[in-house]
Amino acid sequence: MTSALWLASEPALLPSRIQMAFTLASHVLLVPLGVALPSLTLLMEGIGLASKDPVALKIARRWSVVMAVQFAVGAVTGTILSFEFGILWPRMLGQFGGAFGLGFAIEAWAFFLEAIFIGIYLYGWERLRPRTHLLFGLVLPPAGLLGAFGVLASNSWMNTPAGTTLKAGKVVDVDVMAALFTRALGYEFWHFLIAIYMTAGFVVASVYAVAWLRGRRDHYQRLAFAVPFTVAAVLAPIQLVVGDLSARALVADQPSKFAAMEITWTTRDHNPEVIGGLIDANGDIHFGISVPSLDSLLVGYSPNAVVPGLTSVAANARPTIVEANITHLAFDLMVGLGSVGAALAVWHLWVLWRRRRPPESIWFYRLAALAGIGAYIAVETGWITTEVGRQPWIVFGVMRVADAVTTAPASFVWTMLTALVVIYALIAYFFVTLLLRLSARWRREDLNQPSEPEVGAPYGPRPRTFTA
Amino acid sequence: MPDLIAFTLLLAITAYSTAGGVDFGAGIWDLLAGGSRRGREARALIDHSMAPVWEVNNVWLVLAIVLCWTGFPLLFQTVFARLYPLFALALVGLILRGAFFAFRHIAEAPRAHRIADLVFGLSSLLTPFFFAASLGAIASGRLESFSLMSIAFGLVSLAATAFSGASFLVGDARRYGAIELVGYFRRRAVIAALALIAVGSAALITIGFEAPDLFRPMLAGKGFPFALVTMVLTPVVGFLLWRGVLRWYRVLTVAAVGSMVFAWAFAQSPYLVPGQLTIAQAVAPFSTQVLLLVVAAVVLLVIGPAMGVLYYLDQRSALESPET
Per-residue model confidence (pLDDT) at position A465 = 57
Report d(CA A379, CA A373) in Å as an integer.
Answer: 10
Cross-chain Cβ contact A423/B95 below 8 Å: yes
**Does the distance separating the beta carbons of A430 and B40 come in below 8 Å?**
no
Q: List chain B residues with CB under 8 Å of A424.
A: 95
Per-residue confidence band for B176, with pLDDT thresholds at 50, 70 and 90: confident
Q: Which of A288-297, B109-118, B232-241 is predicted most confidently? A: B232-241
Considering its fold, how many domains does chain B have in total? 1
| pLDDT above 70 (res A462) | no
For B318, nearest residue in chain A (alpha carbons): A127
Q: Assign A413 a pLDDT band (cuts: 50, 70, 90).
A: very high
> If residue A141 lies in a helix (H) or strand (E), which one and from where to where?
helix A140-159
CA distances to A158, B45, B149, B243 from B163, rounded to whole Å, are: 44, 17, 21, 16
Question: How far does chain A reach from its first CA to its final CA, in angstroms?
Answer: 63
Pairs of CB atoms within 8 A across A/B? 251
Instruction: Round to whole Å and give the CA distance between B213 and B159.
Output: 25
Residue B323 domain flag = no
ipTM exceeds 0.95? no
Q: Does B290 contact chain A (CB < 8 Å)?
A: yes
Strands A278-279 and A285-286, how do they pair? Answer: antiparallel
Residue A451 has pLDDT above 70, yes or no: no
Q: Which residues of A8-19 are buried (b: 16+ CB within 10 A; e: fewer)?
A: eebbbbbbbbeb
Residue B205 lies in a domain: yes
Most confidently modeled range among A263-267, A447-451, B156-160: B156-160
> Is the pLDDT assigned to residue B323 strictly greater than 70?
no
Best A82, A89, A413, A421 member to test B by mutation, with max B CBs in 10 Å, is A82
Q: What DSSP letter does each residue of A272-311 carry, written as one string?
A: PEEES-EE-TTS-EESSEEETTHHHHHHHSSTT--B--GG
Q: Provide the domain limits for residue B269.
A: 2-289
Residue A165 DSSP class: E
Looking at chain A, which residue has its C-alpha nearest residue B98?
A76
Burial A74-97 (b: 16+ CB within 10 A, else e): bbbbbbbbbbbbbbbbbbbbbbbb
A91-133, pLDDT tens digit by residue? 888 888 888 888 988 888 888 888 888 888 887 887 788 888 8
Query: Cα distance from A272 to chain B (closest Cα, Å)?
Result: 44
pLDDT > 70? residue B52:
no
Beta strand pairing call for A273-275 and A170-174: unpaired
Domain extents in chain A? 12-179+409-462, 182-406
pLDDT score of A7 more than 60: no
Residue B132 lies in a domain: yes
Which of A77, A120, A174 minimises the CB distance to B310?
A: A120
Question: Which of B305, B259, B311, B296 lies closest to B64 in space, CA to CA?
Answer: B296
| Interface membership of B73 toward A (CB under 8 Å) | yes
Residues 86-105 of B with CB under 8 A from A: 87-88, 91-92, 94-96, 98-99, 101-103, 105
A302-344 pLDDT tens trace = 888 888 888 888 888 899 999 999 999 999 999 999 999 999 9
Q: What is the average pLDDT value for chain B, to the nearest integer?
A: 84
Secondary structure, 3-state, B245-290: CCCCHHHHHHHHHHHHHHHHHHHHCCEEECCCEEHHHHCCCHHHHH
Using alpha carbons, list the distances in angstroms from residue B291 to A113, A166, B103, B284: 18, 19, 40, 11
Q: What is the largest distance, in Å, between two alpha-carbon atoms of chain A?
A: 75
- Would residue B318 count as lying in a domain? no
Backbone angles phi, psi at A203, to 5 degrees: -65, -50
Torsion of CA B158, B163, B167, B168, to 10 degrees: -20
CATH of the domain at B97: 1.20.1630
- Whether residue B99 and residue A119 make contact (CB cut-off 8 A), yes or no, is no
Nearest CA in chain A to B81: A90
pLDDT for position B321: 47
pLDDT value for A5 = 46
Question: Is B296 within a domain?
Answer: no
Q: Which of residues 97-136 of A touch B (CB under 8 A)?
A: 97-99, 101-102, 104-109, 111-113, 115-117, 119-120, 123-124, 126-128, 136
| Interface contact B207, partner A, CB < 8 A | no
> Has residue A9 got a pLDDT over 80?
no
Question: How far from each other are the two terminal CA atoms of chain B, in whole angstroms?
Answer: 54
